[in-house]
Chain A
């Protein structure tokens, strides 16, 4: 799949998940019943456009309430999305992933861009730490502390900015915590100029979760071993620095399809039957 088609799909997915367009002008978020369903990607439910719930926010809200409730419903939805699509959600459906891709497309500092660097591999484990500690453990132990939402989530910060633009009362209420969160967002956005998907690589707990399903998801990358010449074209073009001819099930692969486009026809992204590699 070429990049333009993927960008079009990402745009449509972002618009559908944020179809409460009048919210961007009124500063009022949607209260529609569709918000009882979690969207697959990272899209804050406080975004003025959001018509669905954020799965990571919903998970923490269940765990950090007055009494811990096991979030059967949200976990069930996440497993369902993961088994069917794996990290294709990151590559095609996640609005915050799309924002990073848009920034990476800006043709500046092209020479300074890096695909990988020393320590890149180790740093990628950070997202698992964030999933376990910031999303699951701290909210379960400390009441009313959705740690990831409160101190890290850049999607929430974007929502805060959009709400503040539309509603001066929210603008007036922004303080120290917002400055912290805006700094986190700023660092991620600046990094996105130089490195593809820094948030998805190192921080996103949702990407960490879906990555666990890349080995078994129904939508996967398939290598035709009979025709693959191991020319390395796929590995060279991969924005996530994966070598799909060697490891098509890598948890780091966001299923963007760039390698499929570059390949001579030995790679296929789509529904893969059974155990085929």
Chain B
């Protein structure tokens, strides 16, 4: 039962965080970073 409560609470928390992030435009920031070659990642920058 405890585990089930924890699962549901965490799923709600995750949904709240995702919605907050979406309202703040964070998916756009993720896209802006992901759509350009990350020089640090590939070992140049």
User: Once the chains are docked, how many angstroms separate the CA of A44 from the CA of B33?
Assistant: 11
- Report yes or no: A36 in contact with B13, Cβ–Cβ below 8 A: no
- Chain B residue with minimal CB distance to A73? B21
Q: Which of A146-154, A227-235, A253-261 contacts B (4 or more CB under 8 A)?
A: A146-154
- Report yes or no: B43 in contact with A69, Cβ–Cβ below 8 A: no
Given the complex, which residues of A lie within 8 Å of B18, measured CB to CB? Answer: 72-73, 76-77, 80
User: Once the chains are docked, how many angstroms separate the CA of A79 from the CA of B14?
Assistant: 6
Q: In the complex where A45-B33, A83-B10, A216-B10 touch, is A76 in contact with B40 (Cβ < 8 A)? A: no
Is A22 interfacial (CB 8 A cutoff)? no
- Report yes or no: A275 in contact with B4, Cβ–Cβ below 8 A: yes
User: Once the chains are docked, how many angstroms separate the CA of A275 from the CA of B2?
Assistant: 7
Q: In the complex where A79-B13, A80-B11, A275-B3 touch, is A73 in contact with B43 (Cβ < 8 A)? A: no
B43 is contacted by which of A29, A75, A80, A182 (Cβ under 8 Å)? A182
A-B contacts counted at CB < 8 A amount to: 154
User: Once the chains are docked, how many angstroms separate the CA of A247 from the CA of B43?
Assistant: 39
Tell me the chain A residues, 60-99 only, with Cβ under 8 Å from chain B.
61-62, 69, 71-77, 79-80, 82-84
Bitwise interface map of A from 254 to 277 toward B, beta carbon under 8 Å scored 1, else 0: 000000000000000000011100
Given the complex, which residues of A lie within 8 Å of B45, measured CB to CB? Answer: 150, 177
Most buried by A among B3, B15, B30, B37: B30
Tell me the chain B residues, 31-45 only, with Cβ under 8 Å from chain A.
31, 33-38, 40-45
Tell me the chain A residues, 143-189 only, with Cβ under 8 Å from chain B.
146, 149-150, 153, 156-157, 159-160, 163, 170, 173-175, 177-178, 180-182
B30 is contacted by which of A38, A180, A215, A273 (Cβ under 8 Å)? A38
Residue contacts A-B, CB under 8 angstroms, 8 given: A37-B27, A53-B33, A79-B10, A150-B41, A156-B38, A177-B43, A218-B7, A275-B4
